């Protein structure tokens, strides 16, 4: 009988929210060890969770440099952190807005899934340390470099600025450049695209329907299939709703009850 692999997560802050606690509880409930990487202590972290020093993987100074200037989001920094974890052989990665319904199994040198018909998402990610894609993903984050999948309307101003000596970095490129777009492009380049799991395995809930988890009239039964292993709750779509208590009978309320959160 195989053992469920350890799941690596990242949290920047001193306390977790309701959805983050749900994510952790769901992985623990399905037999995974959970390792949360952080830049300090986290209040209320479950005793079964392993707390890892994130500074040893990526110094906070570099994470801060990758932070989005307008919104303060660490999404880009999180992309780099997960790729560095893969490069160092730390193992399976999950975002903290993913709910685990069944144990994840690593049966190949890579594990990821389709977000839609064209794009791979990295909220669930495993790449062997020695794979060329692993090294290339981590190496994307450098000054004055424009990934080839960047649309011309975004790339051109940066190229023109470069002619006049203006430097730019990863944080100056569009949202998603180093996330799903990068994984998708490089999975195609390195012949791994066909290994991506179908959308219903990891991402049965579409981004545009994310807020339905707060709707008592909605049901996840409409999107789950026999193959579904996780549900991505799309934290970016729930920024305001996360501040509220999910209504009784809503899909989120039911998940919180199911996993004892």
The pLDDT of residue 69 is: 63
Residue 230 has, within 13 A of its CA and on its CB side, a CA count of 36
pLDDT of residue 179: 94
Q: Does a structural domain hold residue 204?
A: no
Residue 183, domain CATH: 3.90.550.20
Greater confidence (259 vs 68) lies with 259
pLDDT in tens, 205-216: 999 999 999 999
Model pLDDT, residue 2 = 53
Pairing outcome for strands 34-38 and 50-53: parallel
Q: Is the pLDDT of residue 157 over 60?
A: yes
- Identify whether 220 is part of a domain: no
Which structure tokens are listed for 17?
Answer: 């929210």
**Average pLDDT of the residues in 47-64:** 95
Domain count, the chain: 1
Q: Encoding tokens for residue 137?
A: 């993903």
Closest to 258 measured CA to CA, from 9, 11, 28, 13: 28
231 within 8 A of 207, measured Cβ to Cβ? no
* Residue 192 included in any domain: yes
Average pLDDT over residues 244-252: 96
Mean pLDDT, rounded, of the chain: 93
Whole-prediction pTM value?
0.93
């Amino acid at each position: 009988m195989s053992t469920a692999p350890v799941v690596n997560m990242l949290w920047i802050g001193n306390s977790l929210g309701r959805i983050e606690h749900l994510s952790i509880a769901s992985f623990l409930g399905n037999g995974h060890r959970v390792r949360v990487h952080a830049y300090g202590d986290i209040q209320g972290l479950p005793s079964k969770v392993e707390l890892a020093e994130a500074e040893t993987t990526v110094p906070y100074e570099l994470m801060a440099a990758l932070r989005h200037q307008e919104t303060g989001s660490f999404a880009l920094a999180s992309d780099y952190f997960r790729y560095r974890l893969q490069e160092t052989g730390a193992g399976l990665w999950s975002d903290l807005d993913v709910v685990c319904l069944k144990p994840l199994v690593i049966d190949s040198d890579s594990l990821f899934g389709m977000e839609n018909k064209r794009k791979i998402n990295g909220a669930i990610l495993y790449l062997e340390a020695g794979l060329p894609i692993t090294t290339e993903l981590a190496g994307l984050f450098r000054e004055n470099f424009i990934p080839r999948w960047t649309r011309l309307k975004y790339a051109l101003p940066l190229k023109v600025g470069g002619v006049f000596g203006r430097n730019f970095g990863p944080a100056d490129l569009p949202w998603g450049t180093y996330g799903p777009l990068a994984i998708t492009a490089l999975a195609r380049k390195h012949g791994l695209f066909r290994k991506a799991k179908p959308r219903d395995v990891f991402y049965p809930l579409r981004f545009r329907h994310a807020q339905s988890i707060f709707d008592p009239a909605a049901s996840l039964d409409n999107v789950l299939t026999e193959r579904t292993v996780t549900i991505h709750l799309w934290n970016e779509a729930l920024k305001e709703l996360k501040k509220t208590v999910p209504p009784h009978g809503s899909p989120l309320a039911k998940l919180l009850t199911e996993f004892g959160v």
